[in-house]
Amino acid sequence: MARQKRTFNGMSYAQVQRANSENRRKLEKDEQQWLKTNGYKNVGWNHVIQLYEKIEEFLEASPLKDMSLEELFLEADRIGNKYLEPEDITNFNQQLAKEVSEIGELIDRQFPDTTIEVIDFSQPTAKKSPKKRNQKTYRTAKL
């Protein structure tokens, strides 16, 4: 009678070991050291499975470590929006757009752009680029 081959998440023993080794390299040094200190081993079915699950926990938590401050704020906003009604989100976005517009107007008053830029389409440009024959180029003149 043939013995049925044991698998975990559709992987054989050797495949789980290989996945553990590859994923362990993705962890921070202190996380790798923690695994070693706490007796997580890549030998024996039960140990291999426990190590696999613990590495997955670390990897799931680590995306937040690599995020910039802006990305963290966007993620927090996305999570917060899950608990708001659609009307609340719409009201907030309208209020935000109004305030951004007011700030833009204040900036324009504080730093007016007095330079007017005109594009002269009537005369051809002086330089022709041999590499970009089908690309149009235009001269600008500041008033």
Q: Which of 43-47, 86-90, 138-142 has the lowest mean pLDDT?
A: 138-142
3-state secondary structure of 27: coil
pLDDT in the model for residue 27: 86
% of the chain residues with pLDDT over 70: 83
Q: Residues 39-67, buried b or exposed e (16+ Cβ, 10 A)?
A: ebebeeeeebeebbebbeebeeeeeeeee
Mean pLDDT, to the nearest integer, of 32-59? 91
pLDDT in the model for residue 58: 85
Mean pLDDT, to the nearest integer, of 36-57? 91
Looking at residue 22, its amino acid is: E
Measured at the CA of 26, the angle between CA 21 and CA 30, to 5 degrees, comes to 100
% of the chain residues with pLDDT over 90: 32
Tens digit of each residue's pLDDT (9 = 90 or more) over 52-76: 999 998 888 766 666 778 888 888 8
Burial class (CB in 10 A: 0-12, 13-18, 19+), 139: middle
pLDDT in the model for residue 130: 60
CB 13 within 8 A of CB 42: no
Mean pLDDT, to the nearest integer, of 21-46? 90
Looking at residue 105, its amino acid is: E
127: pLDDT confidence band, cut at 50, 70 and 90?
A: low
Residue 5 has pLDDT above 60, yes or no: yes
Tens digit of each residue's pLDDT (9 = 90 or more) over 17-26: 999 999 999 8
- Write phi, then psi, for 32 (nearest 5 degrees): -60, -45
